[in-house]
Amino acid sequence: MKTLRQRNIRDYFMVGLLYVSTIVVLTPLIIIIGYVIVNGISSINIDFFTQELGSPARAMQGRPTGLVHTILGTLVVDSLALIIAAPLGLGAGVMLSEYPDHKLNPLLRVMNDTLNGMPAILKGLLAFALVVKPMGAFSGLAGGVALAFVMIPIIARSTESALMTIPWSIREAGLAIGLPRWRVVLSTVMPAARTGLVTGFLIAFARAAGEAAPLMFTSFGNNYLPNRWTGMIFGPVDTLPQRLYSLAISPYKEWHAMGWAAGVVLLVFVLGLFITGRVLTRQKFKV
């Protein structure tokens, strides 16, 4: 039989362990973000945003190099992904939430979760087989498709849960004044849930924007700006996560510095989207 004193000591000990664990988990995060910001900011200059990368010789001879083509490429590929993913994700979310009795829903839910749980690299392989092989070339479009595969299940889930937060009485009110079902969904339910919908898009976009694995063999990478703007869509194109990987494993010191700079840009981009999404959700619950 333990005395109360022993039990209290055990209590304190466990609380101490909880504190230590929390600190141990959070310290690396702070260190990583700190390192990336400090190293990244010191390697960023105006050339980074205005010049293209070129060959390694260009950096080693001290000529101005930068990642303007990478930043533009990232925006193009991510936007393509969002354009492809938005209707599919929204449609599936509407189906799950507004037609809850539909026969396909259980299957859709399982498949969507399966897709969500699949490693991103497999989505890259899928996009390679579906887009790169038939087109015969690595392209920004293939990269967009690969990232869309990352976004779709996230958007579908968040759309479903955003629409589910709208009470059924709103839909019933719409139906009661004689609106057909599609108008109820489009004009009352979706506008009421728009904060939740936007949050879902932001989170999905943030997740996809940080992915490098599916882009390695779909948009492939490119050291130069394409000659024509269509080259961004139909030719190999650079994206920040994939370029960051290439820079980091390259043997050139100048490129390592540029890798840190790319790291801070990517980190700010992704965390900015992510935090905006979080803040929006929080406001929704406050109101």
Partner 1 sequence: MQNQHTTGSIAEKPVSIIYRWLGDRIFLTVVVALGLSIILLAGAMAWVLTGESGMALKEFGVIGFLTGTTWDPGVQFRFGALPFIAGTLITSVLALAIAFYPAVAVAIFIAEYAPRWLGYIIENLVHLIAAVPSVVIGIWGIFVFAPWMRDTFYFPLYEWAANHQPSLLPVLGSPIGYGMATAIIILALMIIPFTTALTRDAIRQVPKEQREAARALGATKWEMIRMAVIPYSRGGIMAGAILSFGRAIGETMAVAMLIGNNNNFPFSVMGPAATMPSVIVNEFREAVGNLHLSSLMAIGLVLFVISLIVNLIAAYVTRKLSITGGQSI
Closest separation between CB of residue 229 and partner 1, Å? Answer: 25
Closest separation between CB of residue 110 and partner 1, Å? Answer: 8
Residue whose tokens read 């990368």: 53
Closest separation between CB of residue 246 and partner 1, Å? Answer: 10
Residue whose tokens read 């260190």: 31
**Cβ-based neighbour number of residue 219 at 10 Å:** 34
Closest separation between CB of residue 43 and partner 1, Å? Answer: 12
Nearer Cβ to partner 1 (228/285):
285
Closest separation between CB of residue 232 and partner 1, Å? Answer: 20
User: In this structure, what token pair is assigned to residue 134?
Assistant: 């038939």
Interface pick for partner 1 out of 58, 68, 79, 111 (rule CB under 8 A): 111
- 251 makes contact with partner 1 (CB under 8 A): no
- 270 makes contact with partner 1 (CB under 8 A): yes
How many residues lie near partner 1 (CB under 8 A)?
Answer: 89
Judged by phi (left if over 0) then psi (alpha if -120 to 50, else beta), residue 65 lies in beta
Piece in contact with partner 1 (CB under 8 A), picked from 44-52, 194-202, 225-233, 258-266: 258-266
Residue whose tokens read 């109360």: 4
Judge whether 59 and 258 are in contact, CB under 8 Å: yes
Residues 185-244 that bind partner 1 (CB under 8 A): 185, 206-207, 209-213, 216-217, 220, 241, 244
- 172 makes contact with partner 1 (CB under 8 A): no
- 122 makes contact with partner 1 (CB under 8 A): yes
Nearer Cβ to partner 1 (7/228):
7
Residues 143-162 that bind partner 1 (CB under 8 A): 149, 152-153, 156
Residues in CB range of 143: below 8 A, 6 or more apart: 77, 80, 81, 127, 214, 215, 218, 219, 220, 237, 239
Residues in CB range of 166: below 8 A, 6 or more apart: 189, 192, 193
CA dist., res. 132 & res. 5, Å (int): 69
- 271 makes contact with partner 1 (CB under 8 A): yes
Which residues sit opposite 237 in a β-bridge?
220
Residues 46-65 that bind partner 1 (CB under 8 A): none
The closest alpha carbon to 168, from 92, 96, 93, 98, belongs to 98
- 24 makes contact with partner 1 (CB under 8 A): yes
- 92 makes contact with partner 1 (CB under 8 A): yes
Amino acid, res. 7: R
The closest alpha carbon to 109, from 60, 153, 68, belongs to 153
Nearer Cβ to partner 1 (113/230):
113
Closest separation between CB of residue 77 and partner 1, Å? Answer: 15
